[in-house]
Structure 1
Amino acid sequence: MEVTLPRGTRLALPEADAAVALPRTTPPPFRTTQQPRPAVDRTAVPAPSSSCAGMDPLVRSPDARAAWHLLDALEAPTCTVRADSEIVEGNSAWRQFASQNGGHPATTSIGSNYLQACDQAIDGPGAVGARHVATGLRAVLAGDAERYQSEYPCHGDGEQRWFSVRIVPLEVDGGPGALISHVDVTAMHLAQDALAHQVLHDALTGLPNGALLADRLGQALVDSIRGDRGVGVAYIDIDHFKRVNDSLGHAAGDALLVQVARRLTSCMRAGDTLARYSGDEFVAVWRDVASDEDAAILGGRLARSLTAPFEIGAASVNITASVGVVVGQPTQTGDELMLAADAAMYDAKSRGRGRVRVFSAELRDHPGDDLATEVALQAALSRSELVLHYQPVIDLWTGRVVGVEALVRWQHPERGLLPPRHFIPTAELSGLIVPLGRWALDRACRDAAAMTGPAAGLDVAVNLSARQLTHPDVVRHVRDALESSGLDPRRLMLEVTESAVLEDDEVAAVALDTLSALGVRIAIDDFGTGYSSLLYLRRYPIDALKLDRAFVSGLTTSPDDEAICASVVSLAHAVGATSIAEGVETVGEYAALRGYGCQQAQGFLWSPAVPIEELAEVVVACHRVPRPARTRPHLPHATPPAPDVAAHIASLHRDGASLQTIAAALNRAARSPQLGGRWTASTVARHLAG
């Protein structure tokens, strides 16, 4: 909002809900507290005209009175000062807030000197805020700045709050003056802190997550260079945890994990790190570990802490844990230590569970099933045992097949046709995913270029793993596949997961930009299961978002999944990307997706992935699947949030926060939905979609 004051001065008036804090003096102008300011009784506050009585003609002029009526209606405590920083007037919010919070007339009333109060506070507890305000006010009064705005901390009554001071020039008594507002931005800082904490910590246990673990482990290895001791890593897996979930329910399982985290934490030394790595797996990082024997002792302490029964509701639960430990040296990487500790943990499980196993050269030479799978997979690549199957992708509006997704299978000589889950994890860990992925890319491009009949001209989508995306030769591999097959680059779509994009975002950005420049399209696979952020949708050349099957399967039964599906489709439209749903199996899901405006889909409703030889026949069959009428699915009504909360949601999502992170930030800031309860990813998605 802007108001034109006399003599052509234009004044920008803050519109945010605010609380004021002058820099502390001795005695302080007033105390900063967390008590909300009561609503101002406008009938009990003297009108600006009466408060201005007896002052100079400028303030008594009708134009000035009109402007001060507007100022008086502001929620933000605001005052004006002359060139010598003498306080000329304060609005009702200023006077009432100062009075109710212990302000003294000597430092807050008309006629007091603002800069003197600041200078007196420079040596006190409010020094930071006083210095900020004084610097800005002097610059504005001297004509060196057209506007000053800065945030500063304010300590009071054992707590810390944050304020934003805003100072703009204002003509007073025919000379330079200024208008000053102090806006309470503590809630925003709390939300930012909560957001930062959420990104790096596990929501259930509060422990560091995998991202923070990797950072702490890397730092420990760097620090160990300065000493002659190693870094210890323990990989802890709860034995038979699934039985707890199956017998007592997931809520009981979560409660057990929380108690496990507390017991393990009690065993950690100062400076060490305990993280929840995934599911029922925890990782401990120890600094200054001298030997394998010391690591075994520390690992045993962790395992023993879990032997006493856990009280979960009315049930008493006994568990054990398998622990693998390793002592690393500065020359090793964090990934190498994690793999070694993981191998030791699996060896402990294979020896009967509930024990500690130290990584050794024996395990390096014989790591078990993973090594056998790796050797067999390497042979499979050379013996052409890998094959591609193709699943049709359907245009939901025409019902026609517009493309296919290439999915790798292993035609194992003894175990038959194996789906990816039986060998892709080993390929990722061993690095074989790079040659395997390159083979799949070459094969898919050749197959697509050679398609005839009903399948002629179909686009083809190929998955690109995290290791492939960050491989220095990824662009050359794609270019070679296109050139050798003769496939039009516009017919190739490369699918990458959210985690692959964010694993090394700088490298991913360069790779994706270069690949897009070749003419190929980029899709985010399994969107909604990871970070789900607008940050990389704006940053990277994304052409399609693929909605994960986990949400599609709940379309007709789960309001949460409905809200997330609607939100993802809306996000895709907003950034100009194609929305593609995975795992569609029923006509009801088909109809719901059409209602949301989803553009394409794939799933068993039309066909599973089939060999290239069967594709033409399957394409014809897909065209015969009837299209349901377009209906808008019913979403439970979501009461719009308060304007400031709605703006906060939009701001956090624009800044790259996930749905879960936004929900956590709102809950920690005590900003509840208007319908009550707590924020969840689905309620955030609902408001973003609606």
Structure 2
Amino acid sequence: MVDEAIAHCQSLCRAARSQAGIALAATLDRLDSALGELRNASAPAAVGDRPPPPEADEAADGADGADWADAAEAALELDLAGYVTAWNAGAVRMFGYTAGEAVGRHVLFLYTDDDGDGSIAELVLETDQASAEVRRRTKSGDTIRVRLAIMLMTDGLGNATGMHVRLGQVDESLSAAEKASLHARIVEDTDQGVMITDASERIVSVNGAFTRITGYTLADAAGKTPDLLCSGVHGEGFRAQARAAMAGAAPWRGEIVGRRRNGELFPQSVVVGAVRDAAGRISHAFSLLTDISVHKNAEARMQRMANYDALTGLPNQGLLMQLLGQAMTEARRNREPGALLVVEVTRLGAIADTLGHDVGNAVLVEAGRLLRSRLREGDILARLGGGKFAVALPRIDRREHAALVARKLVDVLSTPIAVGTHALQVGTQVGIAVWPEDAEEPGALLRGADVAAMRAGASMEPALQFFSEEMNQRVREHLRIESELREALANGELMLYYQPKVSLRSGRIVGAEALLRWRHPVRGLVSPGVFIPVAEETGLITELGNWVIEEACGQIRRWREAGLAMPPVAVNLSARQFDRGLPQRMADALERHQVRPEQIMLEITESLLVRGAEPVVAIMNELVAMGLALALDDFGTGYSSLAYLKKFPISTLKIDRAFVVGLPHEENDCAIARAIVTMGQQMRQEIVAEGVETMDQMAFLRDLGCDQLQGYLFSQPVPAADFERMVRAGRRLALALPDR
């Protein structure tokens, strides 16, 4: 039974060799031979008289000798690719090939069939010289065992040029006892850990390498299962595969994370297989493990050196191109725009020349940290070299948003950078290229952004430049509007106009909507369609929205002080204003101006409703509890749903002008208007139609049962004084039905 088990383990070792590492393959080779001989061993023997392999220094002497080609001992030379470049007379006698037949062929022609794993022992050196014992095949097809003494050959500059290999045939005529002793020593002395379990998965034997690697001795491990080394890092898939191999399936090999006796985790390469007895039953299983921590650490260091900047720790240009390529592919699939920014940090040369390169490097590292602090988690920051960084924005809502990010990066580097006792000022110029307009592959996109950065440095404009001239013009206009809008807030250029809301029952003014207007000192009235989108994108809308609330409340107070009882005034809210602090801000404004809550209505848009029901409902309930009314503006144009009207405490629906313009002749507009009015009536909500401009539109809406209209048919938005005169004069809508 033992003979058959060992024979099966031997075949598994040969199978495992093809997937093992170089060092592990050599051990499997030795273990294979050892297991074969253990069949005939009856008792341990004394240490065998294994002939010593040819020493590397002897190989060196042969390599340097003038007549090594005629030496009796077999020798050959290989280039670094593994092709035979020299073949002496001893090699002719050993393998049967003449020099003409051997020179120019790859050394693999000497390998046996079970050595076809692609690992070339003659080319694998961890030092300048090494030895190995391997099988090789002669011209006649016989397999022989030979000892290799391998020495690295170099040129006069110390550069590797090839390998000099001395070969000696191994005498295999050892006695069974000698072989058993020899093989036992091989198993015990190998660098790979060996663990053997019985059919119940209980550990029965381990070698010295297993103890060195894991910290567990045989006394510690005997009787326990391999779960002794379990780290918990790998999933159930590994456990199932390993147990299947131990139960007789094909050997499993791979890399896993183990746990040493001291609790330390370590990466290991593992081969797991089963051994059967003569009757075909599983008698034992074996695990061969190698600690690959050193290799993994070296691999990680090499990977980092290849992909990351040594000074800042940021991705380098090579890794940037990989990540950018992936981002552009994903964006192309989702039809999303993106952008690449090249950020040039200037004045570093002057700083280094004055204070030294260490200070210059410290400034560069801090600049990278500051840039990273202004980016989203998914954005990519890389260093291209010198003072040049690249920022990839894989997802942007609009192309102009790249300029907003660029402005943030310019701003964060606009203040002096503290390095030791120094506060050092740097300059910044940013070039921007967007995809897919400017380029559809990473290299072209980087070139475009780099060119734009150079233009930014030469321009008298703000220190950022788009690669596309059209984009440059749009961004410059965007930045101009933002700058002038901030000045407008400070200089009192903003004002509120009021558009009356009229009852379709009485024709009287029953309310008004406060609309923001900007009277530019040079260009006159600026359309809200021009500056409101800029305010939304830059976040300036929050400041504008707060100003509108204050101004509307102040105007209501002034009307009251003038003895005029005004109808409720509606104020539009941006989604950016709708936060947990909104109820308190409204309460403060009402208290400051002594305005009653029923004199103010808050209008929200449908986009706010998709931000999440729970927080929005909580804020709305607070506002309604204060006595404020809520209206849903532009109903039907966005994410309209009956579920919203059920969840949210909305008292008024406003039919968007897009559905009013075609009344009463456009069939679809009529159907939509009719559905909105009917739904609002069923839910006891007031219906206001926007953009009413003709008598036919008014008559149709009135007949549907719409409550109010707002539009040029009655009045365009007017200044506060004009609206006051309308109310005082009792102006009414002509042809409205009498009160019912």
Quick check: TM above 0.5?
no
Q: Relative CO higher for 1 or 2, CA cutoff 8 Å, sep ≥ 6?
A: 1
**Higher radius of gyration, 1 or 2:** 2
TM-score, normalising length: structure 1: 0.43
